[in-house]
Amino acid sequence: MQYRQLGKHNQQVSIIGLGAEHLEKIPVEQAEGIIAAALDYGINIMDLFMPNPEIRDTIGRGLKGRRQQMLIQGHLGTLWVDGQYKRSREASPSQAHIEDLLRRLETDYIDILMIHYLDKLTDVETVFAEGGLFDCALKLHQQGKARFIGISSHEVAAARKAIELSQGKLDVLMFSINPFHDLLPGNTDVDTMFKFEEFDDLAEDGRNQDRAELFQLCAREGVAITVMKPYAGGYLFSDSSPFGVLTPAQCLHYALSRPGVASVLAGYNSLEQLQATLHYLEASDEEKDLQPILQQKNWALTKGVCMYCNHCLPCPMHLDIAALLRLNDLWQDDVTVQGKLKEAYANLAGKASQCSLCGSCEKACPFAVPVMQRMQQMQQRFP
């Protein structure tokens, strides 16, 4: 494993980390096995934003006896309400969920306390107001319950404003970095992120300058970047991506080449996926090279690509929207494939037919996915 310094601090982190989100969807024994393997391979940083008490317990068991080997990014502002993930800007319930995380992990501190999902300037203003989540994070830091403080964001202006308002007290920025997202103007509103007209202002090499400037700002200020969505939710491994099929090594090299990046927190739901990511450590320069693809000008842009990130929740009908959309995205004209998908669909607790078409998911989605349209499509495919 290779390690880098965590921004301005004398703390080394593995360049490949563990994004724990996918562990929520697999059997407990399999999830614990991936955690153990990650530790064995030298991975020493993981992100845990999910408030679901079951996955917190699973990760606690996976880290038992090895807690000191793993730096944990825990998120302030994620709640578990009526069996669903929900974002919050209220300090009291958010702190209560951090205390719950500490108990379930059987630890007395979080290494990196992340203020969750700051994608709008209004969110930043709320979080940094007196008595807001940033003050709550500082309090937990002063109590020794958080070693470092960070934020997670997908949006350039919000991230820059948070760095400014923190007055040097922000240690980590978790940001979405991959070749696809870097096509977008950094001031793109998350509610219109995948409208075609947003791609008119591209840099010459296909990357956008204000995103690059954010990464350079982090490098100058000593704010370490931990990368989420390096594979764009697996989208960059498909023929429909703007670049054709990319490899994990190419995606990782792209992210790790950005200024300020300390670690890339990829997600895995199998040991094979973990090993495919770790191949980067021995990959040749040719295997990592992405420049010929980035220099192409015929971008096959796709609107509304679901990243299965669950930011669309909570759902008033308690639907697992990401699970439903994943099955819909896998649909093919192959009868055998359709049969397997229908079998998986039948095992889901909530069905597309239960969708009330209220639109709350589309308002919350950072990637402008037309969820309601796809729910209606699924009712035809999965009667």
Q: For residue 131, give Cα distances in angstroms to 126, 136, 219, 229.
A: 9, 7, 29, 31
Q: In the structure encoding, which two tokens stand for residue 215, read together?
A: 């990464």
pLDDT at 308: 74
What pTM was computed for the model?
0.75
CA distances in angstroms from 152 to 85, 236, 376, listed in the order given: 16, 22, 32
pLDDT of residue 297: 39
| Confidence (pLDDT) at 237 | 83
Phi, psi of 206 (to 5 degrees): 90, -5
Q: Which residues contact 191 (CB under 8 A, 6 or more apart)?
A: 363, 368
| 353 class by beta-carbon count within 10 Å (0-12 exposed, 13-18 middle, 19+ buried) | exposed
Instruction: Give me the pLDDT at residue 293, please.
Output: 65
Identify the helix (H) or strand (E) that includes residue 68: none
Q: Which amino acid is at 225?
A: I
The per-residue pLDDT for 208 is 60
Query: Phi/psi at 165 (nearest 5 deg)?
Result: -70, -25
Over range 294-314, report the average pLDDT: 62
User: What is the per-residue pLDDT across 65-87, written as a single tens digit (0 to 9) for each?
Assistant: 999 999 999 999 999 998 888 89
Where in the chain are the domains?
A: 3-294, 321-381
Residue 115 pairs with which residues in a beta bridge?
76, 151
What CATH number was assigned to the domain covering residues 3-294? 3.20.20.100
